[in-house]
Structure 1
């Protein structure tokens, strides 16, 4: 397990992740606030006021997961999945709710049937997962026809600076992805309405699975 993954599995990080660690790092990396990211997540997934089934992959301590659940109605429900036991313990303690639940699992082999969810997301974790492409394909597999997928992950420019930052990030186990990786993967899987937005070192990509 590399340094980045060891850090994410540390109980001490789970205690401060959403209140200090993530907001500070994401603001430095993207220039965006957590509030902006959360509102955009609801918009990108198109879940406002619906009874959809949502999967939040690599949910961490569940702050995003719980926020998404607050925008659902009826039978709407968000499942947060993470591999880190300390993060899930924090999620269960701080972010439980009527329309939210948590499960431990491996992003590369999701324990769900094809087409289980109406919306699937992964915000700020694909660069930590050992096989991010396999994890993304799993997200697409469990997404129902007509559903929405949204990710936030790292970004590097195709230039000397991008190459240098990629090498530096890899020393701690982080991956940086180029502009084409996820739009091309989505297109190859038959997804449509693919939209990509880049903010500094972060990229936001969402798409639809044809009905």
Structure 2
């Protein structure tokens, strides 16, 4: 188990992750700039738009996006946060209460949901921590409903992360740096359309849709 994975399972770390460590880490993706934080604010506003949606947040951690994703839900809309870490889920449950919010412990490689269940499937600031991460995209597509969307924020081999030795340095603490076309190619092979990518420093936002039947 990597240093990063051990940290995610630590109760003390889950208490400071959202308010201290994660904001600093997010700014780091922009190499000290604001592009990642700016995109993150826009994404939160997008997730909070009104609508009858079923939302799955994979590797939700302590619920960083739970309130945003649940705040605009209407009718039968529901938000489900899934994480493998019991410590993170306990913190998420304490900080994010609501009749439309639920948390589930599970493995992102084998999501405990039926095909075509969710309208929005998220994996934000987590895919680079997950061992064998590309099959997680397969599962995201499987549980995404036709016409639904997949949104990912993760690392990108760009800027300083493209320099020699960057992959080795990241690997020492359990982080993976994804190639610029790696996620887009996988999603394309899975049949996703409307694939969009935004690079922010050494990070990338990817937005894709599952074709309608």
Query: TM-score, normalised to structure 2's length?
Result: 0.92
Residue 78 (structure 1) aligns with? 79
Does 1:201 pair with 2:207? Answer: no
Distance 2:39 2:124 in 1: 13
Q: 1:137 maps to what in 2? A: 138
User: CA separation of 1:115/1:68 partners in 2, compared to 1, >3 Å: closer, same or farther?
Assistant: same
SS in 2 for 1:127: helix
Aligned residues: 209
CA distance in 1, matches of 2:14, 2:58: 16
Distance (Å, rounded) in 1 between the aligned partners of 2:113 and 2:6: 26
- Quote the Cα distance in structure 2 between the aligned partners of 1:160 and 1:39: 24
How far did residue 66 of structure 1 move? 2.0
1:57 partnered with 2:89: no
Distance 1:13 1:137 in 2: 30
1:1-12 equivalences under 5 Å are 1-12=1-12
Report the Cα offset of residue 29 of structure 1.
Answer: 1.4
**CA displacement, residues 181-202 of structure 1 (integer Å, 9 cap, x when unaligned):** 1111111111111000000110
Question: Residue 42 of structure 1: CA displacement?
Answer: 5.0
| Corresponding residue for residue 22 of structure 1 | 22
Task: State the distance in 1 between where 2:38 and 2:18 align.
Answer: 12
What is the 5 A alignment of 1:89-104?
89-104=90-105
Q: Deviations over 1:39-76 (max 9, x none)?
A: 32553x6x721111000000001120221100212211
Contact 1:158 1:178 in 2 (8 A): no
| Distance of 1:162 and 1:155 partners within structure 2 | 12
Gap runs ≥5 in structure 1: none
Per-residue deviation at 1:34?
5.0
Q: What's the CA shift for 1:12?
A: 1.0
Q: Distance in 1 between matches of 2:205 and 2:155?
A: 9
CA displacement at 1:159 relative to structure 2:
8.8
TM-score normalised by structure 1 residue count: 0.93
From the superposition, tell whether residues 147 and 161 of structure 1 become closer, same or farther in structure 2 (CA, over 3 Å). Answer: closer
For 2:74 and 2:97, locate their aligned partners in 1 and report how far apart those are by CA, in whole Å. 16
Q: How far 1:165 sits from its partner (Å)?
A: 1.2
Shift of 1:157: 2.9
* Runs of 5+ consecutive residues of structure 2 not aligned to the other structure: none
How far, CA to CA, are the matches of 1:167 and 1:109 in structure 2?
Answer: 28
